């Protein structure tokens, strides 16, 4: 009897000892702490950390640069280098072609330092982030800018517009204005791309609405002439003669050399659309 009890107890004791041993190991880890990555900036002053970040920017090692700037800001949040480190972080994300992080960092800077002398640069970076996102995609695809969702174009335009409205004397004003002109033309072409799609599918009212949008919101864009042509053709398809004639007069006044006006003597404006469509 005693012998059988001992045989049953020994495995239980072994299991208990194993559990206690594991617990001691785990508690030892918690006491002494897990090994951590060495911080090479320990004891450095703000200027040295900032310079190290700048050196990494020069080397195009943007991840390490961001790491240094973040350490600087967390260690010296109220120092003179902290705000500049925030701007540099936004710029590093821009150089990494990470528009979401760039905009987030720029917005954070604007919120924390609305009166900073370089806050105009934060707005400029916001515009560049989404402007270059479009360019980056175009570089690696054959897709035209007007063929895609214009959301990023509108975001870029809004950032540049806020910059030019708030800071008309900014050193970035001229470049932002030029980019806005490009964006307006791109946005208007995007609308016309959709209008052409609707015309091909005989959705004339939908095409007309896109053309009218261009005429109303992008009156100085390069797409106005085509918007008038599509409007005339759409009105003709829908038998809206008075509106067609009014729009035709506008086309003649503003674009007398339009190829569709040459030799016109009462032809069906639907033929106009077919001719204009062949140009694309």
Last residue within a domain, chosen from 108, 130, 164 = 164
The predicted pLDDT at position 249 comes to 94
Could you tell me how many helices (H) and strands (E) the chain has, helices first?
Answer: 12, 0
Q: Quickly list DSSP for 64-126.
A: HHHHHHHHHHHHSTTSTTHHHHHHHHHHHHHHTT-HHHHHHHHHHHHHH-TT-TTHHHHHHHH
Last residue within a domain, chosen from 164, 181, 199 = 164
Q: Are residues 48 and 160 in the same domain?
A: yes
User: Please, how many CA atoms are within 13 Å of residue 210, restricted to the half-sphere of its CB?
Assistant: 22
The predicted pLDDT at position 108 comes to 96
Domain that holds residue 210: 172-280
Q: Are residues 139 and 202 in the same domain?
A: no
The predicted pLDDT at position 41 comes to 79
The predicted pLDDT at position 79 comes to 83
Whichever domain contains 181, its CATH number is: 1.25.40.10
Q: Are residues 81 and 177 in the same domain?
A: no
Q: Are residues 182 and 150 in the same domain?
A: no
Q: Are residues 96 and 131 in the same domain?
A: yes
Three-state DSSP class for 150? coil
How far is it, in rounded angstroms, from Cα 187 to Cα 163? 19
DSSP state of 228: H
Last residue within a domain, chosen from 146, 164, 182 = 164
The predicted pLDDT at position 192 comes to 93
Handedness of CA 215, 221, 223, 226 (dihedral sign): positive
The predicted pLDDT at position 35 comes to 42
Alpha-carbon distance values, 95 to 80, 136, 276 (Å): 24, 12, 41
Q: Are residues 160 and 176 in the same domain?
A: no
34, part of any domain: no
Q: Are residues 196 and 85 in the same domain?
A: no
Q: Are residues 150 and 181 in the same domain?
A: no
Question: 244 and 233 in contact (C-beta within 8 Å)?
Answer: no
Q: Are residues 61 and 139 in the same domain?
A: yes
The predicted pLDDT at position 43 comes to 81
Q: Are residues 184 and 260 in the same domain?
A: yes
How far is it, in rounded angstroms, from Cα 218 to Cα 40? 54
The predicted pLDDT at position 267 comes to 54
Q: Are residues 228 and 248 in the same domain?
A: yes
Q: Are residues 201 and 273 in the same domain?
A: yes
Q: Could you say which residues of the chain have pLDDT below 50?
A: 1-3, 5-6, 9-13, 15, 17, 19, 24-36, 134-143, 265-266
239: left (phi over 0), alpha (psi -120 to 50) or beta: left
Domain count, the chain: 2
The predicted pLDDT at position 139 comes to 44
Tokens 């700048």, located at residue: 54
């Amino acid at each position: 009897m005693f012998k059988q009890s001992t045989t049953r107890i020994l495995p239980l004791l072994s299991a208990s000892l194993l559990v206690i041993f594991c617990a001691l190991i785990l508690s030892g880890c918690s006491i002494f702490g897990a090994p951590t990555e060495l911080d090479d900036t320990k004891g450095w002053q703000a200027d040295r950390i900032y310079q190290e970040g700048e050196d990494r920017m020069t080397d195009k090692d943007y991840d390490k640069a961001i790491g240094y700037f973040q350490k600087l800001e967390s260690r010296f949040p109220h120092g003179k280098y902290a705000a500049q480190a925030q701007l540099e972080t936004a710029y590093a994300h821009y150089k990494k072609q990470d528009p979401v992080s760039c905009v987030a960092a720029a917005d954070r800077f604007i919120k924390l330092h609305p009166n900073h002398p370089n806050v105009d640069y934060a707005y400029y970076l916001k515009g560049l982030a989404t402007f270059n996102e479009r360019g980056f995609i175009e570089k690696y695809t054959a897709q035209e800018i007007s063929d895609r969702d214009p959301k990023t174009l509108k975001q870029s335009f809004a950032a540049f517009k806020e910059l030019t409205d708030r800071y008309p004397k900014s050193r970035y004003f001229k470049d932002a204005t030029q980019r806005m002109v490009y964006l307006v033309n791109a946005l208007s072409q995007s609308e016309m791309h959709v209008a052409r799609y609707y015309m091909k599918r005989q959705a004339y009212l939908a095409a007309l609405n896109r053309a009218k949008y261009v005429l109303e919101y992008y009156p100085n864009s390069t797409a106005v002439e085509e918007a008038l042509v599509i409007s005339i053709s759409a009105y003709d398809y829908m038998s809206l003669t008075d509106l067609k004639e009014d729009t035709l007069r506008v086309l003649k006044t503003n674009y007398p050399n339009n190829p569709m006006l040459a030799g016109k003597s009462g032809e069906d404006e639907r033929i106009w659309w077919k001719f204009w469509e062949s140009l694309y």
